[in-house]
Structure 1
Amino acid sequence: MEIRQYGPSAPGTSPAAGPPPRRGRRWPLGVLAVALAGGAAAGAVLATVPDEPERRAVPPPPAAGPRTQPQALALALAALTSGVPAALPDLTALIGQQEGRVRARPQDARAWAVLGTAYVERGRVSADPANYPKAERALTTSIQVRAGGNAEALGGLAALANARRDFAAAKRYGEQALKLTPKRWTAYPPLIDAYTGLGDYKAARGALDKLLALRPGVAARPAVMARASAVYRDRGWREDAVAQLTDAASTARTPPEQGAYLTGVGQLAWERGDREDALRHFEAAVRVDPGRWAALAGKGRALAALGRADEALTAYRAALAGQPDPRVTLELGELYESLGRFSSAREQYELMRERVERSVDGGVDEELLIGQYEADHGDAQDAVVRLEEEWRRQPGIEVADALGWALHRAGDDQEALKYASIATDKAKGGGVRSALYAFHLGMIERETDRPGPARRHLQEALRINPYFSPLRAPEARAALRELGDVPDEPLPGADD
């Protein structure tokens, strides 16, 4: 592991500058050679499913207008301390203020904690992992300045660890912060994320129950409802998740907060296969908060599903211009591939590689994303090695699904079935209704001579979201055609 040293910042630079002390596993350059020979299915469209929840009107945006710098700083600080989304320009203004403060008062532990937490949030919002090493130095400085009872810095370290996908560290810091402030609701969301990432869904539900029992005030309720929505979604309670997040959007107090919740409602609509409702909420999120890049990516997803490929590509490119997220980059590459534009797909896959490398430089664990990419587009055996290690460290449902699929692509279908089953087993936490997970399980079952379960799970995938992926949904339909109709088999016990 490479560890670089850093010293005091130079005049005019960030006082929290410096590379991370932790580096993720490097991704060899040769691993990313993309083989795009042969034809691929054209772009797909999405259809609604019959059991969609009752539609609700998209709420109007909160009143917004020009803000003075003191107002922007106050909004950003309030957002950080109350656990709600903040606008990127406001975060940048707050960072500048706090950098000046810690230079003037280097023993101000709270200023260092606020600075570090602001770096974390800016890194998350902008998809710029260069913020994370700065956050780490600021937060550890805060701990050094005030070692005992520093819940703010510990909470910031938990948020940083979650952003880096280091869920074990997030759990450790989050539990320390919770011991110091058990009645503070903002201590619970980082722990819920950490427990979820570690596959401890019982603990995540328990943390949510404790959070709800605190009965947070009016200002915090939208954020709490959004947190409840995420847990309900993971449990498969789709209608409850939509209701919570819709109510959160209707009562949000700032445009960034409302934009974030509307984006979440759009994503839930997408997951259930409602392309029109998803597009409506993504567009509403962008109207409220033009810098909501995740909503623009979602808009591209929904437009592609509606067969409006050119508009979809424009939306994706706009999203990546503002937030160069490697996951969205991979998604755009697969859309290009589905359209037969293989050169453009290769360009996106190479961009993804570069962005993953920057992310790893920022201390982010990207093994899951790399494994997912390699399983479908590169070296499946490399994906297995990476994902087996990730499963040992962080056995969440998403990792189980990815590992099962990588094992299938590497030819080990019996072992693949074990992990694909975990990902879809409600008893093991896999309550989320995922078309992709059902597709993976069905395809593995087909290769292990289980035609009945394979047919059932492939049908389930298309029922959940008929065009969940521009590449994989056509594969599901082709596999179902090959499986044919359900054979006319005698019922069990018919010969008795």
Structure 2
Amino acid sequence: MRARHWVPAVVVLAGVVLAVGTVFVRGGGEPEPAGPVSGPVDAHAGGATLAASIDAAQRRLKAVPKDWSTWAALGSAYVQQARVTGNPAFYPKAEGALRRSLELESATNWQALVGMGALANARHDFPAALDWGRKAEKLNALAGSAQGVIVDALTQLGSYQEARDAVQRMLDVEPGISAFARASYDLELRGDVPRAKYALQRALDDAAAPADVAFCRYYLGELAFNAGDPAGALTEYDRAIAADASYQLAYAGRGKAAFALGRTEPALADYARVTQALPLPELLAEYGDVLAAAGRPDQARQQYDLLAAAQALFAANGVVDKLTAARFAADHDQPVDALTDARAEFAARPNALAADTLAWALHRNGRDEEALPHADAAVNLGWRNAALYYHRGAILAALGDREKARADLTTAMAINPHFDPLQAPAARTLLDTLGGPA
């Protein structure tokens, strides 16, 4: 429901041609539990395996406290544990372990540099992440994980051409699940959904561990949902859960797909489950919006209160996320707060989604002439994102350009008429007031 210009690039790999980024890493790769580790934990280790790896690393460090490679692996595992559990308290632990690793070995320790980069990306400090990734790349140019840190940082900073180049390097040196997933996101951003799906299918072909299969199926579901196919998305989310029932994001996906299909009670049950297990601010916001759309405002407010508490917890552990705050405020009648946060977000990472968020916040403050250039920049990527077109359509309508507004709103509804439980109905209503689909 929440959102995720590029000139085409071509990736040639093993006879496969792909036109090729995401802060959400769409791979496998666990640390060896019994000894030192050669590289960082990858981005979608399963929860049980991850906990076992952390326990094994802690036990080894009690026996060999100066084992810098295990310190690096432990720090990277803590970063992933924060993602798996939605508990940002693991980030300070991660930083402590990674810095200890670098204290013990700095000349060759690209693993800890990658871990620090992943931590900085998780905290939304993308310039720092890019710096850590570049340092790791200098020590080991063949490390796909270093390229992954670089891709994610560059994408979030809006440096799309450089991000594509890093995707290419990642595919060259380590053509596995994480590389294909990033290629898929790049394709999605440019509006090439069929090849984005193909790249994810390539990732799925490489997946063996249940968590990896669930990861790929979940993002295949996201592609389907964002393309306006909630039934197809539901199938993929169910497959993700069948592969790994602990993969919590699949329950959120299943919830939004079920709600789009009119299955309110199963949708609410899935959202209740996932927000208990993974209380991320964006998921709490989604759950609250679904409750509000289902006519349960008191329960929605409870989730919004939890959202505020979660945001405070993340901020206390070094995570700066003005994007979620700005989008929520803009959609919930808090225009001044929305604009303050959107300006800060766009200044920090001027990517397409931040541009759209700033445009929407400006619109909510009645500053549509100022909003329109940012809305134009957001859609210039070619991204088939219904929310972006709804936002620009609303801005154009406010400026009196009815025909262009109708065209954008029609495009939004054609891409995905279920893009948001509250905003999609608002988009349909606005389109109707303008005379219906163009």
- CA displacement at 1:485 relative to structure 2: 5.9
Match of 2:268 among 306, 313, 318: 313
Q: Which amino acid in the other structure matches residue 165 of structure 1? A: H
* Counterpart for residue 402 of structure 2: 451
Q: Aligned partners of 2:374 and 2:38: how far apart in 1? A: 39
Paired with 2:189 and 2:289, the residues of 1 have a C-alpha distance of: 25
Q: CA deviation at 1:469?
A: 1.1
- Tell me the equivalent position of 1:170: 129
In the TM superposition, what are the counterparts of 1:476-491 in structure 2 within 5 Å? 476-484=427-435
Partner of 1:267: 222
Identify the residue that residue 393 of structure 2 maps to in structure 1: 442
Q: Aligned equivalents of 1:377 and 1:357: distance in 2?
A: 18
Q: Select which of 324, 335, 342 maps to 1:380.
A: 335
8 Å Cα contact 2:35/2:57 also seen in 1: no
Q: Which residue of 2 is the match for residue 336 of structure 1? A: 291
TM superposition shift of 1:266: 0.3
Partner of residue 433, structure 1: 384
The answer for the alignment partner of 1:50 in structure 2 is none
1:267-319 Cα deviation digits (max 9, x unpaired): 00000010111000000100110011100000000000000000100011111
CA distance 1:290–1:249, shift in 2 (3 Å): same
| Residues 400 and 423, structure 1, Cα contact 8 Å, conserved in 2 | yes
Residues 285 and 307 in structure 2, CA contact (< 8 A), matched pair in contact too: yes
Q: What is aligned with 1:460?
A: 411
Structure with bigger gyration radius: 1
Counterparts in 2 of 1:230 and 1:278: CA distance versus 1, 3 Å? same
Residues 1:384 and 1:72: Cα distance change in structure 2 (over 3 Å): closer
C-alpha distance in 2 between matches for 1:439 and 1:356: 27
How much identity, in percent, do the aligned residues show? 36
Residue 166 of structure 2 is aligned to residue 212 of structure 1: no
Match of 2:46 among 82, 87, 100: 87
The equivalent residue for 2:251 is 296
Structure 2 distance, partners of 1:363, 1:378, is 27
Which residue number in structure 2 is paired with residue 116 of structure 1?
Answer: 75
How far apart in 1 are the matches of 2:234 and 2:437? Answer: 36
Higher relative contact order (CA 8 A, sep 6+): 1
Paired letter, 2:270: A
Which amino acid in structure 1 is aligned with residue 298 of structure 2? Answer: S
The equivalent of 2:18 in structure 1 is none
How far has the Cα of 1:192 moved from its partner?
Answer: 0.7
Match of 2:84 in 1: 125
Structure 1 residues 163, 485: CA separation in 2 closer, same or farther (over 3 Å shift)?
Answer: closer
Q: Which runs of 5+ in 1 are unaligned?
A: 1-70, 488-496
CA distance in 1, matches of 2:209, 2:239: 14
Q: CA deviation at 1:101?
A: 2.5
Post-superposition offset of 1:222: 2.9
CA distance in 2, matches of 1:300, 1:72: 33
Q: Does 1:472 align with 2:427?
A: no
| Correspondence 1:39-188 to 2 at 5 A | 74=33, 81=40, 83=42, 85-188=44-147
| Contact map agreement 2:33 2:56 (CA 8 A) in 1 | no
Q: Which runs of 5+ in 2 are unaligned?
A: 1-29
User: Conserved in 2, the CA contact under 8 Å of 1:117 and 1:156?
Assistant: yes
Task: State the match for 2:307 in structure 1.
Answer: 352
Segments ≥4 residues shifted beyond 3 Å = 71-84
Equivalent pair of 1:79/1:86 in contact (CA under 8 Å): no
* Matched-pair contact (CA < 8 Å) for 1:300–1:315: yes
* CA shift in 2, pair 1:229/1:76, >3 Å: farther
Deviation at 1:72, TM superposition (A): 9.4
TM-score in terms of structure 1 length: 0.79
- When residues 418 and 174 of structure 1 are mapped into structure 2, their CA distance, relative to the original with a 3 A threshold, is same
SS in 2 for 1:442: helix
In structure 2, the partner of 1:191 is: 150
Question: What is the CA-CA distance between 1:337 and the residue it aligns to?
Answer: 0.9
Letter in 1 for 2:415: I
After superposition, the CA RMSD in angstroms is 2.0
Using structure 2 for the length normalisation, give the TM-score.
0.89
Contact residue 76 and residue 115 of structure 2 kept, 8 A: yes
- Rounded to whole Å, the distance in 1 between the matches of 2:113 and 2:128 is 11
> Which secondary structure state, in structure 1, belongs to the residue aligned with residue 81 of structure 2?
helix
Distance of 1:222 and 1:153 partners within structure 2 = 21
Alignment of 1:248-263 (within 5 A): 248-263=203-218
How far the C-alpha of 1:431 sits from its partner, in A, is: 2.7
**Mapped contact 1:188–1:211 kept (Cα < 8 A):** yes
The verdict on how the C-alpha distance between 1:103 and 1:77 changes in structure 2, with shifts beyond 3 A counting, is closer
Contact 2:390-2:409 within 8 A present in 1 as well: yes
